[in-house]
Structure 1
């Protein structure tokens, strides 16, 4: 039986058709993954399912009395509320029943009315059935699994970073145990340890879920149904992600052959019509013209723009570009108990590992001199040129277009040069002229990477650059970093993005150099 069914969905954004008479269905206990390139409309689809966006046409039918869990990254957090209180609010209905039970017990102390005793017994049975007395254990399990416990349960939720906030909202959603989960890029801001925990959790999740993710390693572990969104249509594949991708490739080969055959037939028919429309065979030509008009012409194969990242390098004579000694990082208090020690030579490439919230971004900002060290020293060569990619997608002018944003950053560059950089990042002319806030997360990342391609440097510092990127984009980014002759400091939770063939050092700031 279907939990949610979408029929004949149609929706366009500006002049781009996102869904063209497409269908979608999730049955009970199905674990569904949605894949597709950046900007095809995956997040918009989730917003349509949740009612945040009304489609141009189509019917969406939800099973009645269904508890839906949606990962809303923008959910409000109340200043002054602790992490513990926020997580306990996942059990608000049960906590309310407990308060009612306490009042009934107080009344029963002076009133032996059988109705009070029966009502109290029913509430007590409900609390036991719903596992109310294991609430704190459940909170501890999920908080530990996602690394929230390291922040401290008494931490004010309003003081959390964007990544910490996302993890907290996800934790509450899992604790609510809905019938169906809707998760859009849940692994963003999670490190490897916590991604593994979430994958195990979702594998064993009794309900259904719909997950959008560009992390194919994660997605491959959790799904048994895959929907591929391409050219306005959702194609359903049953089985694992690997099976779905194999079937998709086979379907594409078949489609290409069919399309080529049809185009050949159309060209031949048109030539016949053109040659004979006025001669003795004009009747036959008109007949073929009518046949051509009735033919369902196949759409041309997808010709999506693929990024071609390449970061400009400036030669540098420095040998040791970075020397870190007995460093303690943090703000008022140290984030780590142990000191950090490492050095980086010109041309070396290093990955920084550690669970989210431990201080990877703080370390980068300390290296760049944006935050002073609590103790120890950081010596960054004064003759190196650094290009820095920050992971946040916060724009001071959300209505500005990517072209305008780059014009403001690089006033000495010609518009042609800026457009070329954006095109090489995989953005279309339409996206280049659209407000930045209307672009998908992956498209916004490409704007930031286009900016990096206009900054000649010899040291690249990249903080989670793969978040939101599709597979084609990640592959291009990985190849460009492999080929980069300068030094690289990379933070990423995707262990599949790097390997020893091009990474010289791994700095695990929980344990230091590996």
Structure 2
């Protein structure tokens, strides 16, 4: 049964066509992935499907009695609310029934009013509460929060005290607690540690509703989805199977389309040569006939090629000393809570180091200590001779949204115009795209720019 359908969707943003004649159907219970290059329009398509953006062309049809859940449509909450209250707010309709049942119990026990009518109302409400698993609200909330790495000791934290990553996980918890018929998820694994990603995989596999998820995580898509939609050059293609199956099928389809295009081009060249050779003379009539056939020919378009990143290397502008980073007995607290203490770390020139740990353990804080954005409560942090750190942050906070891409590179990186264009081209920002505003870029494009 089709529960969500898009027909002929077209959308333009900041003067740039993003979607063109997009057709999509989602069946009940289907788990689908939406893939494509950064800036191809994946988030825009989700927003059009959810109604957050209105397409200039086409329409979206949602099945009767279907509830659609999308993170960006969640209503804002009071910064003073706690994590627990916010997640339990997703069960507000069930909590209202629970409150009404309590009121009816009091009225029945006191003998006020028409007891038979009250008993009938109570029975109907109790059946609805039972059918919707109202008794398991708290259990479900604790299960979701635990799966996303939020411990019971954090339940009383207020929204205003949370980091950006914690707020993202809390919003995901709110959405999962709502348990809509259709889940639209845009990069849900961002800000999740590995154990939380694995939990989300299991949750979505057990989820009885329909899922459409945008992700660049191939492993996640392989484990969760059974269909892939590919958005490329403003067009949408659908493939049955997980991500690995999509790679094989898309490559085969691209090769077949390219072969058909090249064969048609060869036929066009031969026909044009024949027409030119016999335009006048004994075969002029045949030449005119072929010219007529050529003018009616439906010409194939060269298949759009997937954007592939250039192979390039990062070079340090100057050699550093043997010791690059040296942390000794470093400690840091936030709001009276110790993130870590007694940290010793020595990194030497040429080493590649991965920093792992659960959400909220202080990984980003440690990086900010090393880059001197914040200071330790205790201990020392030393950078070696000639060391100049470069920091790629989760939220791309250092980007200036009012600048163009070219201005950002020139002013922030101390480059001339040609050097800036060359660097941008390495990340596939070419032509007029270098004059776009940073604020108009998609999340993935901002990551490439950063």
TM over 0.5: yes
Residues 389-468 of structure 1 aligned to structure 2 (within 5 Å): 389-394=392-397, 397-410=400-413, 412-448=414-450
Q: How does 1:13-92 map to 2 (within 5 A)?
A: 13=13, 16-72=16-72, 75-92=75-92
- Indicate how the Cα distance of structure 1 residues 20 and 294 shifts in structure 2: closer, same or farther if over 3 A, else same: farther
Question: Residues of 1 paired with 2:397 and 2:350: CA distance?
Answer: 31
Using the TM superposition, give the Cα deviation of residue 160 of structure 1 relative to its aligned residue in structure 2, in angstroms. 1.5
Work out whether residues 9 and 55 of structure 2, in 8 Å CA contact, stay in contact via their aligned partners in 1: yes
Counterpart-to-counterpart distance in 2, 1:395 and 1:136: 40
Note if 1:358 corresponds to 2:361.
yes
Residue 151 of structure 1: how far off its partner (Å)? 6.5
1:248 matched to which residue of 2?
250
Say if 2:326 is the partner of 1:327. Answer: no
- After superposing the two structures, state which structure 1 stretch, 317-326 or 391-400, moved more: 391-400
Do the aligned residues in 2 keep the contact of 1:305 with 1:428 (CA within 8 Å)?
Answer: no
Deviations 1:277-303 (A, max 9, x none): 333333222221221222121111224
Shift of residue 369 of structure 1?
2.1
SS of residue matched to 2:353: strand
CA distance in 2, matches of 1:428, 1:74: 36
Corresponding residue for 1:123?
125
Q: Can you list the C-alpha shifts for 1:113-167, whole angstroms capped at 9, x where unaligned?
A: 1111211222222222222222111111110100122671111112212111110
Structure 2 Cα separation of the partners of residues 370 and 73 of structure 1:
33
Contact 2:87 2:173 in 1 (8 A): yes
> Contact (CA 8 Å) 1:73, 1:166: kept in 2 or not?
no
Distance 1:417 1:86 in 2: 49
Rounded Cα–Cα distance in structure 1 between residues aligned with 2:264 and 2:315: 45
The one-character-per-residue Cα deviations of 1:212-258 (angstroms, maximum 9, x if unpaired) are 10011111100011111123322111122211211111111111111
| Pair 1:99-2:99 in alignment | yes
- Tell me the equivalent position of 1:277: 279
Secondary structure at 2:59 match in 1 = strand
Contact 2:32 2:212 in 1 (8 A): yes
Structure 2 gaps, min length 5: none
1:184 and 1:211 in contact (8 A); partners too: yes
For residue 304 of structure 1, report the CA deviation from its aligned partner.
5.1
SS at 2:72's partner residue?
coil
SS of the equivalent of 1:171 reads helix
Decide which moves more: 254-263 or 322-331.
Answer: 322-331
Superposed displacement of residue 409, structure 1: 1.2
Q: Are residues 55 and 274 of structure 1, via their aligned partners in 2, closer, same or farther at CA, if it must alter by over 3 Å?
A: farther
> The residue matched to 2:143 in structure 1 has which SS?
helix
Using the TM superposition, name which of 285-294 and 254-263 deviates more. Answer: 285-294
- How many residue pairs match? The answer is 447
CA shift in 2, pair 1:52/1:332, >3 Å = closer
**Contact in 1 for aligned 2:228/2:243 (Cα 8 Å):** yes
Contact 1:11 1:57 in 2 (8 A): yes
Residue aligning to 2:112: 111
**Higher mean C-alpha deviation, range 152-161 or range 95-104:** 95-104
Partner of 2:321: 318
Q: 2:135 corresponds to which residue? A: 133
Show CA shifts across 1:374-416 (max 9, x none).
Answer: 2222222243121111121346742321112222213x42111
From 226, 229, 254, the equivalent of 1:227 is 229
Aligned equivalent of 1:10: 10
Distance in 2 separating the partners of 1:284 and 1:75: 69
Q: CA 1:323 to 1:74, structure 2 compared with 1: closer, same or farther past 3 Å?
A: farther
CA distance in 2, matches of 1:438, 1:74: 22
Deviation, 1:65, is: 0.9
- SS of structure 2 residue aligned to 1:386: coil
How big is the alpha-carbon RMSD for the aligned residues of Structure 1 and Structure 2? Answer: 2.0
Give yes or no for contact 2:68–2:181 (8 Å, CA) kept in 1.
yes
Alpha-carbon distance in structure 2 between the residues aligned to 1:283 and 1:232: 42
1:381 matched residue in structure 2: 384
1:156-195 aligned within 5 A = 156-195=158-197
Most deviating of 393-402 and 32-41: 393-402
| Cα distance in 1, alignment partners of residues 133 and 326 from structure 2 | 53
Distance 1:231 1:99 in 2: 53
Q: Distance in 1 between matches of 2:137 and 2:17?
A: 46
Q: Cα distance 1:237–1:396, how it changes in 2: closer, same or farther (>3 A)?
A: closer
Q: Distance in 2 between matches of 1:28 and 1:317?
A: 58
Shift in CA distance, 396/386, structure 1 to aligned 2, threshold 3 Å: closer
Could you tell me the TM-score, scaled by structure 1's length? Answer: 0.83
Q: Quick one: distance in 1 between partners of 2:262 and 2:222?
A: 33
Q: Say which SS state the counterpart of residue 329 (structure 1) adopts.
A: strand
Shift of 1:311: 2.1
* Alpha-carbon distance in structure 2 between the residues aligned to 1:391 and 1:195: 17
**What is the alpha-carbon distance in structure 2 between the residues aligned to residue 260 and residue 159 of structure 1?**
60
Contact 1:335 1:358 in 2 (8 A): no
Residue 49 of structure 1: how far off its partner (Å) = 0.2
Equivalent-residue separation in structure 2 for 1:393 and 1:342 (angstroms) = 26
* Deviation string, structure 1 residues 442-478 (Cα, Å, up to 9, x no partner): 1111111xxxxxxxxxxxxxxxxxxxxxxxxxxxxxx
